[in-house]
Structure 1
């Protein structure tokens, strides 16, 4: 049963931001396990009946090809399908969407955006989320996709190579209470039209997953 994140959760990440070292991690690993990871597991279990099984991302960064060699992530992120939740020193962030898409997914996405029925549907979803205070983001081309009409009515959406919407809340007493479950669930429900549109028109296939694995190696 989720009772809230531990009292030391935010302090743990503030310390990790200041000292992202193996020594800090080893000395404070018990705080991560007790105040961050275990509550995150309970949170996902509380959300699972409505949103499906969740998965917590590993706390270690892949630094093999990165200029930034800090070994540990300064947030605990988890997913349940297209739904995302993250805890860090800045509080809680929730999102829905596709954070990264392989080329085949991008092609399907742009074909759907260009479609005169599906494209305006996404345009309306995004506009509604903007109006409700959500941030719509994603990797985007600085110019337009090759062969696209410069006057295309949904040119801004066609530039996207990934698409998601998010909202965050600063640390507060709510972070340490069961009430956080319903706040996250309510936000995910509001974001669900975006997730459903992406699932319906972009989706993930076994080929896409294989491409993604090769790309991340």
Structure 2
């Protein structure tokens, strides 16, 4: 499957959806979503599969069961390649902000979080993560992930890696605003190179966070 870039109206589709997040808008513009967003995303993941593994495209519908925000549709389309949730993954997203490439541990179950904190607290393993993050930051990556406001229970508030210990997820992200490259084959190069730069972080997550034996809440 060939990837030629996202369709001409991909961003316009999401700009309109932000303004009118209704079933009527969705049905009127569904073909644009299928042609300019979903089909290119599937093609992109297919091209990257030999190097990174099989990916999947997320559903366009929001889970509103426990949310006060009842808008039915997501304002972006995401694709992911992951060994298992929380154990490291590669992510790509197209939406109103343009193209986002990301990777790491996006969510951790309780057993994963315990292993993560134990590893970060260890000077060797934690020091390795610090070096990986510093290298990514120098290349323009933003380190993200939910953080506690206070130190976790039992953690020294003066710990040198307290910022990392407070995290409940850790991933790196880079965003390109909408431009011509988004709609061209060169978009593939951005994603491929970005994912390659995230290999070390994902390998750390796979080794020190791993897969969960428990469910996510």
| TM-score for both structures, normalised by structure 1 | 0.95
SS in 2 for 1:143: coil
2:193 & 2:46 partners in 1: Cα distance? 16
> How much does 1:175 deviate?
0.9
Matched, 1:95 2:102: yes
| Corresponding position of 2:54 | 53
SS in 1 for 2:160: coil
Question: 2:198 aligned to 191, 208, 216, which one?
Answer: 191
1:109 & 1:35 partners in 2: Cα distance? 39
More helix by share: 1
SS in 1 for 2:29: helix
Q: Which runs of 5+ in 2 are unaligned?
A: 83-88
- The runs of at least 4 aligned residues of structure 1 exceeding 4 Å deviation read none
| Corresponding position of 2:31 | 30
1:116 & 1:38 partners in 2: Cα distance? 45
| Corresponding position of 2:78 | 77
CA-to-aligned-CA distance 1:101-147 (integer Å, 9 cap, x gap): 11111000000001121010001111111222110010111010111
| Corresponding position of 2:149 | 142
Q: Which runs of 5+ in 1 are unaligned?
A: none
| Corresponding position of 1:174 | 181
Count residues with an aligned counterpart.
210
2:107 & 2:98 partners in 1: Cα distance? 23
> How much does 1:158 deviate?
0.4
Question: 1:124 aligned to 120, 131, 143, which one?
Answer: 131
SS in 1 for 2:118: helix
> How much does 1:5 deviate?
0.8
2:139 & 2:34 partners in 1: Cα distance? 35
Equivalences for 1:1-20 in 2 at 5 Å?
1-20=2-21
| TM-score for both structures, normalised by structure 2 | 0.95
